[in-house]
Amino acid sequence: MPSPHPDWRHRLAHALPSTGWRTRFAPAPTGYLHLGHLVNALHVWGMARAHGGTVLLRIEDHDGTRCRPEYEAALLDDLEWLGLHPDVYAPPTFRADWSGHAARQSNQHARYATALESLHAAGLVYPCRCTRRDIAIQVPHQPGEEPCYPGTCREASVPPGESFARRVRLDPFIAGFDDLRLGPMVHEPARQCGDLLVRDRHAQWTYQFAVVVDDQAHDIDVVIRGEDLLASTGRQLQLAALLGRTRPLRFLHHALLVHPDGSKLSKATRDTSLREMRAAGARPEALLAEAARRAGLVQRDTLPVTALAELFG
């Protein structure tokens, strides 16, 4: 992973849009929020408050097999308790019914279908019968390394009714961007990941596709997320270009919280949740301070939500 620019926080005032820009906090309700999510929230709200941005809250529940209503209710409750209030598409209260909300991915099938049809009309979409296991067998790779889809079904004329899965052709493309923390980057999606899966064999829209379509629909200017998603940036920029995006998009990838063995905090490994910390008596300003300390942003025992802008001013 590239090293961050030593003065990256002070450079934000010049690197971000001058005013009126929009970012988003976009949790997936597949588990309870933990300190890793809070680190992301500190960057999202802190940068927006310091430099004239606004925050949109989006529920990324495109994966119907893993998302749960109780996790969604809990994350909304945690954000309210922390005092992290979004500026855009905010519900009347955090406990309001979000079942029909415009910023919930499970409500956006028509939006994604329209985007897919535009790519299909351009001759860029094809059915795919390959499973992850098929690809892993065809493309030898090291544990933790992403296999590049070899294009097995690109010219195979798979009947459309054989599989719900669809891929988008990614021809050679150089995606250059200047990460606000890590500096200049160059990605080549065709070599990194190959043709992109945008709908899986269960007819679910993929993360890579949904976030690109949503960021365009929601007028997002700055994407703030963890370093684990850095490799996704080039393919998302290429896909956005194929979908006709002309609005500039900036990225910042912040460091992740990790265990001593280097593994990141994760809902899948049941790392201590904010809800458990709340139940044990933690206060919002103490949790915000702990997240800021562990992210290397500031050394304080308490951090009021009203002081987040100071971290990035």
pLDDT 10s digits, 43-92:
999 999 999 999 999 999 999 899 999 999 899 999 999 999 999 866 55
Per the CB < 8 A criterion, the answer to whether 301 and 286 are in contact is yes
**Structure confidence at residue 264 (pLDDT):** 65
> Phi/psi at 98 (nearest 5 deg)?
-95, 10
Residue 260: is its pLDDT beyond 90? no
The confidence score (pLDDT) of residue 41 equals 98
The three state secondary structure string of 179-206 is: ECCCEEEEECHHHHCCCEEEECCCCCEC
pLDDT exceeds 90 at position 244: yes
Mean pLDDT computed over 186-213? 97
Return the DSSP state at 59.
B
Task: Find where tokens 């103490």 sit.
Answer: 286
213 vs 18, more confident: 213
Position 96 pLDDT exceeds 60: no
- Return left, alpha or beta for 105; rule: phi > 0 is left, psi -120 to 50 is alpha, else beta: alpha
Going by pLDDT thresholds of 50, 70 and 90, the confidence category of residue 269 is low
8-311 CATH fold: Rossmann fold (3.40.50)
**Does the model's pTM come out above 0.85?**
yes
Is the confidence at residue 18, as pLDDT, over 90? no
Q: Give the integer Cα–Cα distance in Å for 71 and 30.
A: 6
User: What pLDDT sits at residue 144?
Assistant: 76
Say what the pLDDT of residue 90 is.
Answer: 61
pLDDT of residue 265: 64
- Report which of 85, 15, 42 is spatially closest to residue 295, judged by C-alpha positions: 42
> Looking at residue 272, what is its pLDDT?
83
Is a pLDDT exceeding 60 seen at residue 270? no
Kindly report the average pLDDT of the chain as a whole number: 92
Question: How confident is residue 98, by pLDDT bands cut at 50, 70 and 90?
Answer: low
pLDDT computed for residue 258 by the predictor: 76
Residue whose entry in the numeric block shows the structure tokens 């500190």: 42
